[in-house]
């Protein structure tokens, strides 16, 4: 069991355990009262549940069915009533919904074929050979799911070309800010916030 700012979060088998990147995102959320929030790759649900304390509604998704069950259990454990958890890849479970804020602790580690594990947990960190396989798919579609003055916050590693992410967001009409960063022994993890330009 993890305790975070008044929340009780149980960890589960086959689900990414909240770590430095999780807490870096949670500690630096830019949420407004009344926001409709989406978190992709929710894992245990910690970030989504914390966001629900301020947001009006939160939708949390994960491709890993074990994570979906774990997040649902943690929503219930914390007696949260404004979080819905859905199973599916990236934006696929959402139809035409639009959000004020989209959150994603991306699978950002460069991963060669021989490094992959045959497990649902692999999706939590496997970013493909350059660490950008999922990041680029996400960036391609994120604007379609944001309201006009929407924001996006994502976590990635210095190993997966932060500058490329910033450039892609700016090409799509976002103003970007590096909201937070933390140096680890072999990389730096970074929270990038994008604001849609009016």
pLDDT tens profile 40-90? 999 999 999 999 999 999 999 999 999 999 999 999 999 999 999 999 999
What secondary structure, in 3-state letters, does the chain show? CEEECCEEECCCCCCCCCCHHHHHHHHCCCCCCCCEEEEECCCCCHHHHHHCCCCCEEEEEECCHHHHHHHHHHHHHCCCCCEEEEECCCCHHHCCCCEEEEEEECCCECCCHHHCCCCHHHHHCECCCCCCHHHHHHHHHHHHHEEEEEEEEEEEEHHHCHHHHHHHHHHCCEEEEEEEEEECCCCEEEEEEEEECC
Give the domain CATH number at 55.
3.40.50.150
Question: Do 152 and 101 contact (CB within 8 A), yes or no?
Answer: yes
Containing structural domain, residue 126? 2-196
Better-predicted residue by pLDDT, 36 or 95: 36
Pairing assessment for the beta strands 57-62 and 83-87 based on DSSP bridges: parallel
Choose the weakest-confidence range: 75-89, 116-130, 158-172.
116-130
Domain count along the chain: 1
């Amino acid at each position: 069991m993890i305790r975070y700012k008044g929340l009780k979060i149980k960890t589960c088998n086959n689900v990414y355990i909240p770590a430095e990147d999780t807490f870096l995102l949670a500690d630096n959320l830019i949420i407004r009262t009344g926001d409709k929030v989406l978190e992709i790759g929710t894992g245990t649900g910690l970030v989504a549940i914390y966001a629900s304390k301020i947001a009006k509604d939160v939708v949390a998704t994960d491709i890993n069915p074990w994570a979906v069950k774990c997040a649902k259990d943690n929503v219930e454990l914390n007696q949260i009533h404004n979080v819905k958890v859905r199973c599916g890849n990236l934006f696929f479970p959402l139809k035409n919904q639009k959000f004020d804020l989209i959150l994603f602790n991306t699978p950002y580690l460069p991963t060669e074929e021989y490094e992959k594990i045959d497990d649902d947990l692999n999706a939590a960190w496997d970013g493909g050979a350059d660490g950008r396989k999922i990041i680029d798919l996400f960036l391609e579609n994120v604007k379609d799911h944001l309201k006009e003055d929407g924001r996006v916050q994502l976590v990635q590693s210095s190993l997966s070309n932060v500058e490329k992410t910033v450039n892609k967001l700016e090409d799509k009409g976002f103003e970007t800010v590096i909201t937070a960063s933390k140096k680890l022994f072999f990389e730096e993890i970074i929270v990038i916030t994008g604001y849609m330009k009016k």
